[in-house]
Amino acid sequence: MILYKNGRALIGDRLIKTDIVANHGRIIEIAPDIVADEQTEIVDCTNRFILPALVDLCSYGANGLEFNTADMNGMKKIMEFYVSHGVGTVFPTLKADSDERLCNQLSLIAELAKDYPEIKGIHLIGPFVSADCCDIPSELLCKPSMNKFLIYQKAAKDKIKLVTVAPELPDALAFISEVSDSKVTVFLGCSNADGETAQKAFAAGAKGVTDWGNRMSQLTNADTGLVGGALMNGCYCTAVFDGKRLKRDVPKLLVKTKGIDKVVGITMDTSDAYQGLANTVTMCNLPLNEAIKIWTINPARAVGLSGRIGTIEQNKDADFILFG
C-alpha cells in the first residue's frame, strides 16, 4: 500500500488537505491524518497538490513521432512523453491509411498497451471521413463499413474505443448506430454534414465531435452545419486549446455555449496536455478546479470511463498526479 500524506487533493470542486491510501492501483481510503502501518510506503505531499491525471482522447503522437508511422520503440518514446506530462489516460490516435498499415499499427498499439496501462483505448479517425475536410488522400477513404471496422478491431485486439465518422457519407447513420451498440464511442468530424444530418447522427448514437470548429461544416446564416449543430446538441465538443485552431475568444465562447461539463480538451499534434490545461485556464478565464474538468472527468464521461478515472474518489483508479 502507498499512503500519500499531507497533500491538498482536488475532491469534487474543492482542494482539501487530506491523505489518500492506494493499493494495487486503486484508491481504498481518503481521510485526514491516516496512520500508516509498517508495510505502507509513505509519500510526503506537503505543499503539493494531488490532482486527477489528465485524459487525452485524441493525440497523434509527440516529440516528432506519430502513432501512424512509429515502430514499437518510437511508440514507447511517445508514451514516456505523455506520462511525464501528467497524462494518465491516452487514446493513441490513427489517421486513415492503407489497411495493411493501419492493421500493423493497431497491432503494435495493442501490444504496447500491455506495458502502458495509460492506454485505455484507441481512437480511429478515418477512413470513414470526408475527403473534402481532411488532408488524407481520397483513395485511403471509404464509406462507413462495419465489416471493415471489425477487421481493424480484430487487429487492435478490441482496443478501438473511439471512432470519428463523417455522418453525410453513405451508410453512415446505420454504421454509427451499430458501432455505438458495440460499446464503441462515435464522434463526428472531418465532415461537411449539414445541420439536419448532424442531428440525425447524434440521434443515431454519436456522442460528440472531434476538433470542434475545424475541418467541419461551419455555422452560416443558411444552416447550422456541424459546428452549430454540435452547439445545439447535448454532445461533447473536443477542442485543441493551443491558440491556433481556436483563436481569440472562440474557446471562451465554446465553454460558455456548451457549458463547462460538455467541453473536452485534446492535444492532437500539439502534444503537451499540461500546456493545454494551462491555456484553458487563461483562454477561458477559468479557475483551475473548473478548467481541469475539461481535461479529466469530461473526457472520461465521454468514453464511458468515469467509473474508473477523472476524479479522486474511493474505489476509483489511483490515477492522479502530484503537482507543485
Grid cell digits, residue 235 = 454532445
Q: Which three cell numbers stand for residue 273?
A: 496536455
Q: What strands lie across the sheet with 185-188, from one edge to the other?
A: 54-59, 87-95, 122-125, 160-165, 185-188, 208-209, 236-240, 263-266
Q: If pLDDT is split at 50, 70 and 90, which confidence band does 26 have?
A: very high
pTM of the model: 0.97
Distance of CA 62 to the CA centre of its chain: 15
E strands, the chain, where? 2-11, 14-23, 26-31, 41-44, 49-52, 54-59, 61-62, 65-66, 87-95, 122-125, 160-165, 185-188, 208-209, 236-240, 263-266, 320-323
Read off the pLDDT of residues 293-323 as tens digits, 9 standing for 90 and up: 999 999 999 999 999 999 999 999 999 999 8
Distance between CA 321 and CA 314 in Å, rounded? 16
Residue 279 is predicted with a pLDDT of: 96
Answer whether 118's CB lies under 8 Å from 79's CB. Answer: yes
Distance CA 62, CA 54 (A): 16
pLDDT band, residue 126 (cuts 50/70/90): confident
Read off the amino acid at residue 236. Answer: Y
If DSSP states are collapsed to H, E and C, what string results for 61-126?
A: EECCEECCCCCHHHHHHHHHHHHHCCEEEEEEEEECCCHHHHHHHHHHHHHHCCCCCCECCEEEEC
- The C-alpha atoms of residue 216 and residue 224 are separated, in whole angstroms, by 11
CB 30 within 8 A of CB 9: yes
CA dihedral 278, 284, 288, 291 (to 10 degrees): -90
Q: How far is CA 61 from CA 79, 97, 313, in A?
A: 8, 16, 30
62 close to 73: Cβ distance less than 8 angstroms: no
Q: Residue 103: its pLDDT value, please?
A: 98
pLDDT of 271 higher than 80? no
Q: What is the pLDDT of residue 215?
A: 96
Domains and CATH numbers, the chain: 2-51+317-323 (2.30.40.10), 54-302 (3.20.20.140)
Q: By C-alpha distance, which of 26, 314, 57 is closest to 209?
A: 57
105: CB partners within 8 A, 6+ apart: 67, 68, 69, 70, 94, 97
pLDDT 10s digits, 185-225: 999 999 999 999 999 999 999 999 999 999 999 999 999 99
Which of these, 251, 287, 245, 288, lies nearest to 268 by C-alpha position? Answer: 245
Instruction: Calculate what percentage of the chain has a pLDDT beyond 90.
Output: 96
pLDDT in tens, 82-124: 999 999 999 999 999 999 999 999 999 999 999 999 999 999 9
Phi and psi at 239, nearest 5°, equal -150, 150
Q: Which amino acid is present at 42? A: I
Residue 76 has pLDDT above 80, yes or no: yes
Work out the average pLDDT over 139-157. 98
Cis peptide leading into 127, omega within 30 of 0? yes
CB half-sphere exposure, 58, CA atoms < 13 A: 31
- Count H helices and E strands in the chain, helices first: 10, 16
**What percentage of residues in the chain have a pLDDT greater than 70?**
100
Backbone angles phi, psi at 142, to 5 degrees: -160, 170
